[in-house]
Amino acid sequence: MGTKTAAALLTACLLLSACTAAKPESAATSNNQTPATSETSDNTDKGQGTASSPTNSSEHAGSNHVNNSAVQITPQTGNTVADSNEAINSTANANKTYHLDKAYNVVPNQQGAEKKVVLLTFDDGPKEAVMINKIIDILDKHKAKAIFFVNGYRVKEHPELLKLIHDRGQPIGNHSWDHIVLKNKSEAEVEKQIESVQKIVKDTTGQTPLFFRPPHGAGGDVGRKVAKENGLLYMTWSVGSLDWTMKKSQPNKTDSILKNVTEQLHPGSNILMHELPWTVEALDNLLTRLEQKGYQFVDPQSIEVPVS
């Protein structure tokens, strides 16, 4: 009787062991990403808000703030910044009010959104603390935000100026490292020019730019591709102030800036300006004039950016 009991117990143990070994491993869950939105681009390297206006062509190549130094900062490896931007952009775009059309004008995403808006932008900085503070003081007075498109070599020379713009609550855009024409450069060179700025801005402010404007308005297909891969919205402009063509000795520069902008003005205008003394001098009058014409200043944070 004892032998039979022992045999039965042995059999039960063997069966229990077999059942435990056959337990399946749980399957890994996948992370689904939000589908990418289509990139807004056109077939040229210039804004075309008003076809008859010469100020919508590429930025003046003879600008006196071009720097020919070699890129000093090696772009980060991998797609850490681009992946981070993708996750942020795909979520944030659900609540965006505006997008840019093919002529780089600001367009509402739905009925009821204000159409009579303008986007303010300043290129080629950061240059001087006094000038930056004056610009932002005027923007604050008018409750306006502007994109400050910066060059990497300038940020490297004066990171405190970039931090000043950031600390005063203004968005920062990528304007390449050296302010060179990108459309005929290799993809590797364009990546270096764009991604080095992404890195230095991130290292300096803790935030990565979401907007890219190619120097001289000439980024080409490769510039659009690299910008999108880095989660950047590519844009030129649709209204040019022509402030960059003016000389220090030229009379009536502020009046000329007002005239250049207001003659081209239309709903959704993407206005190109620079960190220049005469632009600072004209800015308060310009923003007042725009308000008198019924225009509002769009917050760049309300504009859709691409998902890489």
Question: Annotated catalytic sites, by residue?
Answer: 123, 274
Cβ distance 223 to 197 under 8 Å?
no
Tell me the three state secondary structure of residue 283. helix
Cα gap 198→36, rounded to integer Å: 21
Residue that has been written with the tokens 């808006």 in this structure? 117
Cα gap 286→297, rounded to integer Å: 12
CB atoms within 10 A of CB 20: 7
Q: Extract the runs of DSSP E, i.e. beta strands, from the chain.
A: 98-100, 106-108, 117-125, 146-150, 172-174, 211-212, 233-234, 239-240, 269-274, 296-297
Phi-psi region of 242 (alpha: psi -120 to 50; beta: other; left: phi over 0): left
**111-to-67, 94, 114, 283 alpha-carbon distances in Å:** 44, 16, 9, 31
Kindly report each contact of residues 281-286 with a partner whose C-beta sits within 8 Å and lies 24 or more positions away, as own/partner: 281/253, 281/254, 282/243, 282/253, 282/254, 282/255, 282/257, 282/258, 283/135, 283/138, 284/138, 284/141, 284/142, 285/254, 285/258, 286/257, 286/258, 286/261
**Amino acid type, 124:** D
Letter string b/e over residues 111-129, b meaning 16 or more CB atoms within 10 A of that residue's CB: eeeeeebbbbbbbbbbbee
